[in-house]
Amino acid sequence: MGCFRFLKGMMFLFNAIIFLAGAAILGVGIWVKVDSGSIFTLLQKIENTPEELNQVLNVGYLLIAIGALLLIIGFLGCCGAVKESRCMLLLFFIIVLLVFIAEVAGAVVILVFRPLADELFTEIGIAAMGNIKKDYGNNKDITGLWDTAMSTLKCCGFYNYSDFSGSPYYNTHGSQYPPACCLSSSNPCNHTAAASDVVVSGCFQKIKDLIDENAVVIVGVALGIAALEICAMIVSMTLCCKIKSRLA
């Protein structure tokens, strides 16, 4: 009896965590889609971006779908444990198993197609530089989106400050770079400014550094989620068998 209650408690705890994680991911997904100043909106407005980028831009929908799925899984697990419903627990097990298989398949695909990412980012860089040189300082929407992205990430241009050379802003402001590109209040902030006064790190490098710095955390979270899913499947099937034996 004590073992059965322990399994029910573990099942409820696992799925309470899954439910809360799903709510958080769903919230982030909704925020990404609603936030018009996000980096994804900026990328959408860049002309001649590679077609593969459209799938990246759907990350908001992906997060919403994942969050909703986790909410369903958490609900089924919690209710199945509390109500001792074998039907709910079996449905929970099947969904978690399918998600686990999809995660493994996704990891394999990422590893196989990893070399294509560099080529994709190169194409994005070419399109982003063309976008800056054509519209920054001339198109209010593009200018505002780049300013938001640069101030948020503390970066300048796609590769570095030189991306703005020849842009409408550069030509109409006495060959100056945007304020976000300047570490100090040097006046003017242009190609004659000291190297220490100009931010040479571009937004692409900034994003890459953030990913590299948090790679261990990302892998750790992924492994933790996988372990949690395996434990949840084991507990759900064990609980199912216990419920069946009690009803027999």
Contact present, 63 and 23 (Cβ < 8 Å): no
Mean of the per-residue pLDDT values of the chain: 76
User: What is the mean predicted confidence (pLDDT) over 210-224?
Assistant: 75
**Binning pLDDT at 50, 70 and 90, where does residue 239 land?**
confident
Q: Which residue has the higher pLDDT, 135 or 218?
A: 135
Distances (CA, A) of 202 to 10, 154, 163: 47, 9, 9
For residue 198, is pLDDT > 60? Answer: no
Q: What is the pLDDT of residue 62?
A: 75
Placement of tokens 């997904």 in the chain: 29
Q: What does the radius of gyration of the chain's CA atoms come to, in whole angstroms?
A: 25
- Indicate the range of 43-47, 73-77, 91-95 predicted with least confidence: 43-47
Q: Has residue 118 got a pLDDT over 70?
A: no
Q: Pick the closest to residue 170 from 129, 215, 207, 136 (CA basis).
A: 136
Dihedral sign of CA atoms 123, 127, 128, 133 in order: positive
**pLDDT for position 242:** 78
Residue (of 185, 193, 192, 135) closest to 163 by Cα position: 135
Give the dihedral sign, CA 32/43/209/162.
negative
* Sole residue written with tokens 């298989």: 101
Structure confidence at residue 247 as a pLDDT band (50, 70, 90): low
**Predicted pLDDT at 36:** 47
Total-model pTM: 0.57
Average pLDDT over residues 46-63: 59
